Amino acid sequence: MNIDSRKILLAKEVLNLEDEKIIQIFEKLLKEVKLSNYESSLKPMSLEQYKSEIHLAIQDEKAGRMIKATDLKKQIRGWN
């Protein structure tokens, strides 16, 4: 059975579930696997890249391309 057939079969099984506890287990497992996959894809930044990022941040600050954290929080609250 190929991957597409397996996904369809799994989706059908999930749609037929009535036990909320099983659905919660699936949700938790999916979240954990996604997080694990993301974390394993991360790579450390080189010292050169780190210094470059700091240099760009300093340039942004000098050019006024900054926003205060409190102002950003207000903007985010308005997104809803």
pTM of the predicted protein model: 0.54
CA–CA dist 52, 1 (Å, integer): 49
For the stretch 62-80, pLDDT in tens is: 999 999 999 999 999 999 7
Q: Where are the domains of the chain?
A: 3-41, 47-77
Q: What is the DSSP letter of 64?
A: T
For the stretch 18-61, pLDDT in tens is: 999 999 999 999 999 999 999 999 999 999 999 999 999 999 99
